[in-house]
Homo-oligomer: A and B are copies of this chain.
């Protein structure tokens, strides 16, 4: 067997240790110290299962069962289960409450994982309208229209899905309006909170949602892959149906899901999460400062204004201009940022890019702003 394993030795990752990482999919998943400590204890294979009597969500040592109850309180929901991530949470709901061929009505900003989940569950979809350039906001009323249209053509609707915060523009959708429509029409309502739960306060009960799909690695300061599915007890029997052969085991969880360190890292991060969502306003302040300072440079912020989430999408014609005359072409921005210890902006982009300063200190935020300013001013 000809296998050279040298390449798997001493693999390092400098980005997070040595640089400020502006990648929006990464900023919410950075571990606090207390979570790193717990990883030393639980890194071996099936380590969480030492004192298991058959169900991951019922394990008392470590206190996974209490954690899930506390998480239900944190999210304003009834019942919570660990999953491998938000996509796996969405699929579990779709595969249990929808029938083959049913329609999922979802927002025009839905994440690709909502589509792969529904396609895997052999479902159809109807996409709602969003506002045009440059805001791209979800139009809640479009849900009512699409639902009526599907009902008129005798299509069966299985689920209403809304992306709480989309990953393209960082728009915060009007959950209450969509929830009201779903409720008045009598359909189950799933909120994809991959970019919201763990960053900003969420109260599922108040928002009238039936399911919350949350992501540990994206927004809950947890090691990937890890997520949560929180449900309204109304749907307990359907979503948490147990096996006929092994009556303890839940089918949609395939028995057990997050059987390793990710769930432990999420537990250890819980206090950090509770504290940080209280400071969401301060995060928005930092984000808005970035927009205000960088727009005069020739950047244009796309998506709703002012920012209600830390994801910032900039159109950057000025980078395009510079790339035309710089011998590094489109790579100059990446290279110049790298020199200054800043990473996480896609290599080679000049038309537009996404960034986030979530969780950075004010000093770091100022450093990022000033670095970008100096790059543009020097090279323009």
Q: Complex formed: what's the CA distance from A112 to B250 in Å?
A: 11
Q: When each residue 242-286 of chain A gets 1 if its CB lies under 8 Å from chain B and 0 otherwise, what string results?
A: 011110011110110111111011011011001000000000000
Stretch among A176-184, A221-229, A287-295, A318-326 lining the B interface: A221-229
Cβ–Cβ contact A30 & B45, under 8 A: yes
Type the 1/0 row for A1-20, where 1 means its CB is closer than 8 Å to any CB of B: 11101011111110111000
Number of residues on chain A facing chain B (CB within 8 A): 92
Contacts of A37 in B (CB 8 A): 10
Q: How far is the CB of A104 from chain B (nearest CB, A)?
A: 12
Q: Is the CB of A112 within 8 A of B255?
A: yes
Known: A41-B11, A41-B13, A95-B120. A84 touches B26 (CB 8 A): no
Contact A85 B259 (CB under 8 A): yes
Contact B67 A41 (CB under 8 A): no
Q: A183 CB to closest chain B CB, in angstroms?
A: 24
Interface positions, chain A 86-128, Cβ under 8 Å from B, are 87-88, 91, 95, 100, 112-113, 115-117, 119-120
Q: Which residue of B lies closest to A44 (CB)?
A: B30
Shortest Cβ distance from A38 into B: residue = B11
Of B34, B44, B73, B344, which contacts A31 at CB under 8 A? B44
How many copies of this chain sit in the oligomeric assembly? Answer: 2
Q: Nearest CB to that of A265 among chain B residues? A: B43
For the complex, what is the distance from the CA of A3 to the CA of B95, rounded to whole Å?
32
Max chain B Cβ within 10 angstroms of own Cβ: one of A13, A46, A217, A244:
A46
New A-B contacts (9) at CB < 8 Å, excluding given A2-B73, A113-B255, A116-B245 = A11-B264, A12-B41, A16-B47, A29-B46, A35-B43, A43-B265, A112-B243, A115-B243, A116-B255
Residues of A within 8 A of B (CB): 1-3, 5, 7-13, 15-17, 23, 25-26, 28-31, 34-39, 41-50, 62-63, 66-67, 70, 73-74, 84-85, 87-88, 91, 95, 100, 112-113, 115-117, 119-120, 216-218, 221-226, 243-246, 249-252, 254-255, 257-262, 264-265, 267-268, 270-271, 274, 343-344
